[in-house]
A and B are shown apart, each in its own frame.
Chain A
């Protein structure tokens, strides 16, 4: 932070608008001092306060009988039976990753892990939804390599397996990559804790790493503004935090032990906006106040000013609220795990958050905790539909379809992401039944402390599709959820909760706010229809570079449950001799190609999206879940971007064997992305009959598509290539 010459310029340097500064003065009844301004600037940042998006987020359905904690807490929590609960959250770390890919991504993983164990859950899985510029671009490669290495370096060492995710390359992310990390935790239901302070006289104990000057203003300077060529982005680097997974590993063990032994009454992680956020949120949620003594905070370097200590985003820290009698035992547990513990404050009556330079010293800031936490301004930002929307929707990229070019175009879509996930420990805890590289990941659902196995599975997946959402944010977001549901079905799981990470451009652009609002409507609508509660989310705005917004990219994370795990779900690898069956209504001959991977690769952004019928998706999902559970399928893969053609090529590559379709398939039907379809491969005619009968009972269309075998992949009339050529395409796509 630059020291401004003039007092009136300070709030602007901190990222506050003039109107916001006026509002602060009105709340306080006096001008804010510099420490208070610094605190408001981080807490009222877009990143912390959701001031541009909050008016829209209320439209999500958030309730279901199994929801224990909905949006607004550190993580959403659902009851999954057998005395267990699952905590889930997704968060972006886009801007830090653009500036410093390794640490940006590493601390993104660290932060989301803390959100999960803050609830009392042991983190059992990470998933990464990553979006970068084209592979051919050197900077994009540097960012991609660094982000993956950062997640690998942090996640592996901290001891949380990274079991899934997605990796997308597209020019829209060239100046602004997206790094969304989802974490899932499991806990005995009775260990659920909330991040709130209670009990006047209780102590605020800061656990973990020492506080340094890293990450000051991360949420305001970095996360709440776009990138611009004219500015020196390197100068923002000090706003990126540095992670220490070994500290976090010990912090996890210490905190879970404290929660198990009932030694804390509330606990909160320190993430964006640091101690300022943790103290004001816990006090505000608990309806109490808090005194914070800055001289008691263990610091990494001398001479830190109170505003630096309060807003530092140093990683691997937790704030525990402890009864004075419990303090010695808290210290003992911390000592065993080599975690530093310091009493830095006290719960007070009333609602004031007071920052004192020492416990009996001078008050350097005094504000009401709630004013920081939930009295941030609420913006109804202007929204505008793009003026050329109707014209774009009426186009048809399919007019460019050339059967001669199709094979090459399909092979260009093949992407081997094993270079990403082979860098992640995805097997720790012996719980990963299906790991990365499949439609979704599947974990054993066990009590993480006693090891007691429920015999059921926990399915997890992340999905996003900016192409669909660029064409139509509402339908695109709904299609994304539909695809996610089918991904879960492929590992035998039925959806139980959704979290989202809404990555959009600059909210001051009316078109971006229109996209956000429409995406919320589309997602909310299908979640309501399918009975999936939204239990949490994160909004990332200002994803832009040089004034150009990214394509709207709402990412969803879905958590589902299976019945008893009698057999391992088949995965997408086909075997010689299997028969291919298409489940769900076949792609219509006149399917719209707007937003398809094929159209995008040709530079066509016009056209409409294929038609989505949510009840059909639900029926296909049910059919696949039951068939996977019964071990009826030899392979299974959902059809999504790249259409039937890419799905079949991926299945052939995974199995290392060719395949041939035996039904008429036009070029449009090969690459069309008509939703609600899954390809299954089964062994033997009797199984074909059983599957088609079962589909009939559920009202799902099913047809024999072709045969697995040989060394060629032959799809309809216009795609016939040796398997080796597909292998080469896959190999060339690795970074």
Chain B
């Protein structure tokens, strides 16, 4: 049975169908999980996709962390369940305290939608099985508040414990340490600003995102062999 991935939808989320689509192509079963749910409904993994949860009003992710589903997601994560936050999902996970640090407005004070080069740093996490340190991925970013910030102590800790997952090759938004993705200490919760689902199709220009989301599926299937993928759908 293919693994079941719950894709969380808050009002204002807009990448839920894109993420679900790519997860299904990669062999997963994706189900949209409405923010009012009080459980993760038997999901093997959770993805919190991009968008503008609750309009990003007050502060990105600040209201979403109070949605009922987030209590269930936090419990799922504490139990070791895999949770991936993409873009707005990353913001929600830091607001919910499931990941260290926070995301500020881009240093250029403009929204940025563009492909960026990313260097893989740590692979001991739920998106690392198909990646190797040093590899460069080309994946788009799409955010206004993507500048990663954390305290000096936190930066030292996450660096030493291998929690930095991806770094920008050319830091586009002023992130501390050029950090584009981080994991929690256990490696089962990852937040990333780039959108891997947008780099999963030859016709759209890049397929590097397949190895990111494919790694998530692999760790659910319990095998590290890459699932064969038909990329030319």
| Contact present for A152 and B111 (CB under 8 Å) | yes
Are A568 and B55 touching (Cβ within 8 A)? no
Instruction: Note all chain B residues with C-beta closer than 8 A to A249.
Output: 11-12, 14, 52, 55
Q: How far is the CA of A421 from the CA of B111 in the complex (A)?
A: 10
Distance A426 CA – B205 CA, assembled complex (angstroms): 13
Complex CA distance for A230 and B52, rounded to whole angstroms: 42
**B18 touching A246, Cβ below 8 Å:** no
Q: Is the pair A246, B21 in contact by a Cβ cutoff of 8 Å?
A: no
- Across the two chains, which residue of chain A brings its CB closest to B197? A430
B21 touches A426 (CB 8 A): no
Which of A246, A427, A433, A451 is in CB contact (< 8 Å) with B142?
A427
Closest to B56 in A: A157
CB-CB under 8 A from B112, the residues of chain A are 422-423
Q: Is B1 located at the chain interface by the 8 A CB criterion?
A: no
- In the complex formed, the residue of B with least CB distance to A152 is B111
The tally of CB-CB contacts under 8 A between chains A and B is: 85
**CB-based contact B14/A428 at 8 Å:** yes
B18 close to A250 (CB less than 8 A): no
B contact residues around A10 at 8 Å (CB): none
Measured CA separation A424–B112 after assembly (Å): 7
Assess whether B205 is in contact with A568, with CB atoms less than 8 Å apart. yes
Flag whether B201 is at the interface (Cβ < 8 A).
Answer: yes
Residue of B nearest to A442 (CB): B203
Flag A414-436 by CB within 8 Å of B: 1 or 0 each: 00001101111111111011000
- Once the chains bind, are B11 and A250 in contact (CB under 8 Å)? yes
Q: Which residue of B lies closest to A253 (CB)?
A: B11
| B111 & A430 in contact (Cβ 8 Å cutoff) | no
Rounded to whole angstroms, the CA-CA distance of A425 and B114 in the bound complex is 9
B55–A245 contact, CB under 8 A?
Answer: yes
Question: In the complex, what's the smallest C-beta–C-beta distance from B26 to chain A, in angstroms?
Answer: 13
Interface centre among B14, B21, B140 (most CB of A within 10 A): B14
Q: Which residues of B have CB within 8 Å of A429? A: 17-18
Partner of B201, one of A157, A247, A430: A430
Contacts known (A430-B21, A568-B203); A425 close to B142, Cβ less than 8 A? yes
Q: Does B198 contact A (CB under 8 A)?
A: yes
Inter-chain CA distance A157–B10, complex, in Å, is 13
Say yes or no: is A167 at the interface (Cβ < 8 Å to chain B): no
Given contacts A152-B111, A246-B55, contact A432 B204 (CB under 8 A): yes
Asked whether A159 lies within 8 Å of B51 as measured between CB atoms, the reply is yes
Candidates B22, B113, B200, B205; contact of A425 at CB < 8 Å: B113
Counting CB contacts under 8 A, is A402 at the interface? Answer: no
Pick the residue among B21, B22, B111, B198 that contacts A156 (CB under 8 A).
B111
Interface status of A338 (Cβ within 8 A of chain B): yes
Interface bits B184-220 vs A (CB < 8 Å: 1, else 0): 0000000000010110111111000000000000000
| B114 adjacent to A422 (CB under 8 Å) | yes
In the assembled complex, the CB of A107 is this many whole angstroms from the nearest CB of chain B, namely: 16
Interface centre among B51, B52, B111, B113 (most CB of A within 10 A): B113
Cα–Cα, bound, A418→B114 (Å):
10
Contact status B197-A157, CB under 8 Å = no
Q: Is B110 located at the chain interface by the 8 A CB criterion?
A: yes
Indicate if the CB atoms of A427 and B57 lie closer than 8 Å: no
Residue B15 lies at the interface, judged by CB distance under 8 Å to chain A: yes
Q: Is the CB of B111 within 8 A of A245?
A: no
Q: List residues of chain B with CB within 8 A of the CB of A422.
A: 110-114
A433 touches B12 (CB 8 A): no
Cα distance, A429 to B55, chains bound together (Å):
18
- Output the residue of A153, A247, A428, A444 with the most chain B CB within 10 A: A428
Minimum CB–CB distance from A101 to chain B (whole Å) comes to 15
**Complex interface residues of chain A between 41 and 71 (CB less than 8 A to chain B):** none
User: Assuming the A-B contacts A157-B12, A428-B15, are A423 and B198 also in contact, with contact meaning beta carbons closer than 8 angstroms in the complex?
Assistant: no
Alpha-carbon distance A246/B55, docked complex (angstroms)? 5
- CB contacts (< 8 Å) of B195 on chain A: these are 427
Residue with the greatest number of chain A CB neighbours at <10 A, chosen from B22, B51, B197: B51
A246 with B54: CB separation less than 8 A: yes
Contact string against B for A residues 445-485, beta-carbon threshold 8 Å, 1 for contact and 0 otherwise: 00000010000000000000000000000000000000000
Contact between chains at A433 and B111 (CB < 8 Å): no
Q: Is A600 an interface residue (CB 8 A)?
A: no
Interfacial chain A residues near B55, Cβ < 8 Å: 157, 244-247, 249
In B145-164, the 8 Å CB interface with A consists of none
**In the assembled complex, which residues on chain B have CB atoms less than 8 Å from the CB atom of A418?**
114
B115 nearest in chain A by CB position: A427
- Complex Cα spacing A156 to B142, Å: 9
**Contact A246 B52, CB 8 Å, known A423-B113, A427-B140, A430-B21:** yes
Binary CB contact string for chain A from 393 to 419 against chain B (1 if under 8 A, 0 otherwise) = 000000000000000000000000011
Residues of B within 8 A of A157 (CB): 12, 52, 55-56
28 contacts between A and B (CB under 8 A): A149-B111, A152-B111, A153-B111, A156-B144, A157-B12, A159-B14, A246-B54, A247-B55, A249-B55, A250-B12, A337-B11, A419-B110, A422-B110, A422-B111, A422-B113, A423-B111, A423-B113, A424-B111, A425-B113, A427-B195, A427-B204, A429-B17, A429-B18, A430-B22, A433-B204, A451-B17, A451-B21, A565-B203
- Extra pairs beyond A430-B200, A430-B204 (15, CB < 8 Å): A153-B111, A159-B51, A244-B55, A419-B110, A422-B111, A423-B112, A424-B111, A427-B198, A428-B15, A428-B18, A428-B142, A429-B17, A430-B18, A430-B201, A451-B21
Q: Which 10 pairs between the two chains have the least Cβ-Cβ distance?
A: A246-B55, A159-B14, A157-B52, A423-B111, A152-B111, A430-B18, A422-B114, A427-B198, A425-B113, A425-B142
